[in-house]
Amino acid sequence: MLKAISKFSLLFLIPSLCLHAAHAQKASAQKESAQSPSAQTLPCQWKAVSSEHQKPKPKVALVLGSGGARGYAHIGVIDVLEQNGIRPDMIVGTSAGSIVGAIYASGKTPEQMKNIAMDLKSDDVRDFTLSKQGFFNGQKIANYVNAQVDNTLLENMKIPFYVVATELKSGQDVVFRQGDTGKAVMASTSIPSMFVPTKIGEQEYVDGGLVHPVPVSIAKQLGADMIIAVDILARPEHTETSNVWGLFNQNINIMQNRLADYEVKQADIVIRPDIREKAHVFSVGSRTQTIQAGEVAAQNQIDQLQKALIAKKNQLQAEHDDLQVCQH
């Protein structure tokens, strides 16, 4: 049973607190909208003047999805992107993706991230508890993540970083963008019935993968021009269902895959590592294979990605030129 629990709960790379909840996010979004009005609602002359000082560079979002120990694959994807000169302007992570996203956004290189993955020990992130709400407390995950990011707050990340979680009582998605990084990741990775919900202020939060297993729509709301989504969810056809934990896994896989299929349609590029490894989450061999699966999947998409980037730049250039014509 511990092995099965680890598969879901030991998410591999696993001050005052000032985290935004739903109302704060809406207020912030409204404020940002007021400061940066949509071009479609502005007079032609105003748009043309402001556009003179803007270069047509697309804002690229890297969306890292949930998937437990399969999250090691995110490192392989990031490595290939970096090797090809592709560095995101923002990162949106949920569950396992929030752990990798936090470490990458803090400034760690892919090589450093691989070393961190290989050095991870079960006691670094595993904290059993006696509670009616779950087997694990989750505080060790928060502490571990904060140690890896040098206690950098979300708003001070080198790459803008956003963590997706679910508010337990309402079931609404929440995007953390300020405050304690480890605590936000702890909330995003709190798998119901396994982890005790993460309490922040008066609210309790659970796994972001419940509502956004691959949070592409969040990236769009945050203003991304181009979205690279990494889907590491287990495919239902490869899930063992001969025991109670396998059935539990399958229920989650079916639910999350349906949600993910809907969201990834909004992405420009979708990278899906082929991960069928069933070894223990703390097996070094398993980590290596999963990272490599991410590398292979990203490399297979790199030509299409480069073409999509060029097309997006050309589109923005054309819009920029139209504004110049509009001015005259």
Given 180, 207, 231, 268, the catalytic residue? 207
Beta strands in the chain, from DSSP E residues, in sequence order:
60-64, 90-94, 128-131, 134-136, 161-167, 173-176, 198-200, 203-206, 226-230, 269-271
Distance CA(242)–CA(146), nearest Å, equals 38
Element (H or E) spanning 286, and its range? helix 284-327
Q: Is 207 a catalytic residue?
A: yes
Question: Are the beta carbons of 243 and 206 closer than 8 angstroms?
Answer: no
CA of 320: how far to CAs of 46, 49, 120, in Å? 13, 11, 47
Residue partners of 14: CB distance under 8 A and separation at least 6: 99, 120, 124, 125, 140, 141, 144, 145, 185, 189
Given 51, 95, 188, 286, the catalytic residue? 95
Catalytic residues: 95, 207
